[in-house]
Amino acid sequence: MTQEEIRKAAETYIEAEQDQVFADEVKDLLGKEDWLELSDRFYTDLEFGTGGLRGVIGGGFNRMNPFVVARATTGLARYTARAGALRSDGSRAAVISHDNRRYSREFALSAALVFAAHGIKTYLVDALRPTPLLSFAVRYYKASVGIMVTASHNPPQYNGYKVYWDDGAQVVSPDDTNIIQEVMAVKPGEIRQMEKDAALKEGLLEYIGAEIDDAFVAMVKRQSVQPDLLRQKGSEVRAVYTPLHGTGAPLVERVLGELGVQVMTVPEQRDPDTEFPTVAFPNPEEASALEMALDLGRREKADIVIGTDPDADRLGIAVPDGDDLALVTGNQLGVLLADYVLGQRKVLGTLPPKPVFITTIVTTALQRAVAEHYGAQVHETLTGFKHIASVMRDLEKDPEGPRFVLGDEESYGYLIGTEVRDKDAITATMLTVEMALHWRNQGISVMDRLRQIWQKFGYYQEQTISRNFEGQAGKATMDALMQQLRTTPPATLGGAAVERMYDVKTDRVFFPASGASEAGPGLGSSNVLQFFLADGTRVSARPSGTEPKIKFYISACSEPAQDLTALQCAVRDRIAAIEEDILTIIEEASR
């Protein structure tokens, strides 16, 4: 963009933005003639993607602010008024929740008042709540649409919102693309919002709180595999918990407390804080985020350490192993939960005749082996819980067909049962504590059970490599890197030949040695590449849809064996060699 084009875009934004703080921010940049910063804020509109919005908070069309939220919600409200599911009385309704991010409450109210202006009643939480509760609430209130204002585990300068449809799942095709078209068609002068007092008086805005909390907690308890076990022996469990300054504490503490579990919450991280002062990244995937919880766990000799991200849809844990606490990866906890839920429900006779386990194409293959061992059908989807929920929806079309039991993805997201349609760290926390208690009653630890699984099915290890690319130049670098991998895929990785490459975007499988190709499995289009090596290792490359980063997922395994030590060393060496090659590819693309 030229400076004149940037100036015109900035002036248009200033006129349209009703929040003076954000408008003044852009005015100041114009006064300083900070064209580099202004260019980043106006070179494009913040993308309303297939899941919603996410971006850095600030003034501008390429930022999260009241104007961008109101414009996006206007398009969403138009589509909902035309295509949203009707309730029994012929009306349409929305549910909106928010976490503790900067401006989350304001963005949530702004969206609610847009819906009100379009005649759509909105149930708005009276205070911050976690993402899984929003998914549950959409179904509970039989709403047409839902919005969760959150930036999940992103750094403090981010916010965003995710859009849910009437089944409580994030929107998928064709609704997602139709909503995007509506949003793109909204002009600044077309945005309407009702006054808050008027919306309350006319019944188009209703605050919700205790009722939905009670219903959600009851739902969580219904997912227990062995409810008597927790009621009788829950008091024996010493759990250390951190919500990482987010939304999880009230519900996690309530659920575990009502089951008798002793919960010690990290005091410095219990209260919501927009700045996340004690962590660099409020994400339980990052080992550093759980340092304070681990320290407290060691002092208190905890049986389990639990961490949830700010909107409480991701769960990370650590458990005793020898003289210390061992962090459990997202892939490993998924294996343990699949083993416990499917295995014990089979023993107890509560497993459906045709059970289903759903995971993603970048999640460890060990989960498939475990789930199939217990007789479950396994479905693999693209990354993202909206795809898992889409399979759940398809399964429900046949009342006599297979039934969903649980699903997950490697990025610390788990779902048990069908009453929520997104990652649910609250329910997963309860089941994880129950699982740990079950194995202790059998005389073994959680890590002992994981080692038993490796001995039976083979040792599996995964490694994720993430690299951030900020701004316009960063996006261009990521695009060029993916294009390079597509057109000239590596012949080897870590010394092993690349036997085939699956391009998910085009749904084609390519065989580099022969130059041949064939149709893929038809998962749907996504900007993902998968490389399958001669030694059985799988490497996936995927740019994030919500963050300025690209991820490489490495998954390697061995044959089953009783002595794991040598196998673990060999697999780790293989992963290290592949990691070195991938880092070289990234560095070359960054130059």
pLDDT bin (cut points 50, 70, 90) of residue 579 is: very high
Instruction: Map out the domains of the chain as residue ranges.
Output: 3-208, 223-454, 460-590
Q: Where are the alpha helices (DSSP H) in 396-509?
A: 425-441, 446-457, 471-487
Does residue 183 have a pLDDT over 90? yes
| Distance separating alpha carbons of residues 479 and 474, to the nearest angstrom | 9
Q: How far lies 478's CA from each of 146, 455, 469, 550, in Å?
A: 32, 39, 7, 7
At 447 the pLDDT is: 98
Going along 322-376, which residue ranges are E strands?
A: 324-328, 355-360
Which of the listed CATH numbers 3.30.750.24, 3.30.43.10, 3.20.20.80, 3.40.120.10 matches domain 3-208? 3.40.120.10
Asked about 514 being catalytic, the answer comes back as no
CATH 3.30.420.40 describes domain 223-454: no
At 546 the pLDDT is: 61
Global pTM reads: 0.94
Of the listed ranges 129-138, 442-451, 519-528, the one predicted with least confidence: 519-528
Omega before 277 within 30 of 0, i.e. cis: no
| Distance separating alpha carbons of residues 423 and 206, to the nearest angstrom | 26
Average pLDDT of the chain to the nearest whole number: 95
Contact partners, residue 9, CB within 8 Å, separation at least 6? 1, 42, 61
> Per-residue pLDDT averaged across 394-408, rounded?
97
pLDDT bin (cut points 50, 70, 90) of residue 154 is: confident
Q: Which amino acid is at 318?
A: A
- Single out the catalytic residue among 152, 390, 411, 555: 152
Q: How long a stretch of residues is the chain?
A: 591
> Per-residue pLDDT averaged across 115-124, rounded?
98
Report pLDDT digits (tens) over 20-72: 999 999 999 999 999 999 999 999 999 887 678 999 999 999 999 999 999 99
* Contact status, residue 208 vs residue 124, Cβ threshold 8 Å: yes
Going along 38-170, which residue ranges are E strands?
A: 52-56, 93-98, 121-125, 145-149, 158-165
Can you spell out the DSSP letters for 274-303? TT-TT-SS--TTSGGGGHHHHHHHHHHT-S
Hey, do 3-208 and 223-454 end up sharing a CATH topology, with the first three levels equal? yes
At 567 the pLDDT is: 87
Contact partners, residue 214, CB within 8 Å, separation at least 6? none
Report pLDDT digits (tens) over 436-490: 999 999 999 999 999 999 999 999 999 999 998 877 777 888 989 999 999 999 9
> Per-residue pLDDT averaged across 373-384, rounded?
96
Report pLDDT digits (tens) over 341-360: 999 999 999 999 999 999 99
Domain formed by 460-590, architecture: 2-Layer Sandwich (3.30)
Sheet of 304-308, strand order = 262-265, 238-242, 304-308, 315-321, 324-328
